[in-house]
């Protein structure tokens, strides 16, 4: 499925075209570096802070607040009503890039201010650890793969800026279910969940990341699907009945 798109008409000046493209590329590069850092953060590969500086319950409250802040930004800015309001301030070709930039800033904030929590739930070594890391990598690979299924450049605002600079029109969104979208309705979010939980060392800290962000995904998908029903109507309702949201069935209809 494609996200909502924009129409870019007219022929903007050279300066505006260059500015739109530069802005979109900058937002994308910020996102890309943030995304790579987030993989390290989830995998416990970034330096951990000092969890002795405050009581655990205070640290937990801060972490919950950080996820809540990220979730509110990510969900509110994605709603059609907010997009319409936002384009009164931000030029329409830059709207998606601005969303990507804001989400990256919130994710950076989450990682920077995250408060580590002490304790370990499980720890595996040897072959089992290798298997966990393989599943971890598979989760992130799924996330990346699905961005290209639904148009990677449009998802991150690059296509909108290019269309504006070249005076082209982006087609209206059409309903389609390529590849793994025939198995689950939200394979990208499933990839995130797999990566969150595939931990050879599941510390309390990592568990908090997994629980909070999985909870956010489950809640956010309800709002996203409501928007998709508004856009695609009965096509999407039938898709909901035919294909599960996150967990694949052992058998599914083509």
Domain ranges for the chain, please list them. Answer: 14-242
Instruction: Give CA–CA dist 116/62, Å, rounded.
Output: 10
pLDDT above 60: residue 253: no
Return mean pLDDT, the chain. Answer: 88
Residue 248 DSSP class: P
Provide CB contacts within 8 A for 127, sequence distance 6+.
none
Q: Where does residue 234 rank: exposed (0-12), middle (13-18), buried (19+ CB within 10 A)? A: exposed
Element (H, E) at 201: strand 201-203
- The phi and psi torsions of 121 (rounded to 5 degrees) equal -85, -50
Over residues 30-87, the pLDDT tens digits come to 999 999 999 999 998 877 555 557 888 899 999 999 999 999 998 898 888 888 887 7
**Residue 168 is encoded by which pair of tokens?**
């082209």
In angstroms, the Cα distances linking 48 to 61, 133, 205 are: 18, 19, 10
Instruction: Give CA–CA dist 60/66, Å, rounded.
Output: 10
pLDDT above 50: residue 97: yes
Instruction: Give CA–CA dist 142/179, Å, rounded.
Output: 12
Over residues 169-182, the pLDDT tens digits come to 888 888 899 999 99
């Amino acid at each position: 499925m494609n996200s909502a798109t924009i129409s870019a008409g007219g022929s903007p000046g050279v300066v505006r075209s260059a500015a739109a493209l530069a802005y979109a590329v900058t937002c994308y590069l910020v996102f890309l570096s943030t995304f790579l850092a987030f993989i390290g953060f989830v995998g416990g590969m970034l330096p951990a802070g000092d969890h002795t500086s405050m009581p655990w319950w205070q640290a937990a409250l801060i972490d919950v607040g950080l996820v809540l802040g990220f979730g509110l930004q990510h969900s509110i800015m994605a709603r059609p009503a907010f997009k319409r309001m936002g384009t009164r301030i931000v030029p329409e070709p830059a709207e998606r890039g601005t969303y990507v930039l804001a989400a990256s800033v919130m994710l950076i904030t989450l990682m920077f201010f995250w408060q580590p929590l002490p304790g370990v739930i499980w720890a595996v070594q040897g072959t089992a650890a290798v298997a966990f890391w393989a599943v971890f990598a598979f989760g992130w690979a799924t996330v990346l793969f699905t961005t290209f299924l639904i148009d990677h450049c449009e998802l991150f605002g690059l296509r909108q800026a290019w269309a504006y600079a070249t005076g082209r029109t982006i087609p209206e969104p059409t309903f389609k279910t390529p590849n793994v979208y025939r198995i689950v309705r939200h394979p990208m979010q499933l990839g995130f969940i797999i990566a969150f939980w595939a931990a050879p060392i599941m510390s309390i800290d990592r568990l908090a990341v997994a629980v909070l962000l999985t909870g956010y995904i489950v809640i956010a998908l309800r709002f996203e699907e409501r928007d998709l029903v508004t856009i695609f109507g009965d096509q999407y309702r039938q898709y909901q009945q035919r294909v599960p949201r996150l967990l694949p069935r052992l058998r599914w209809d083509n």
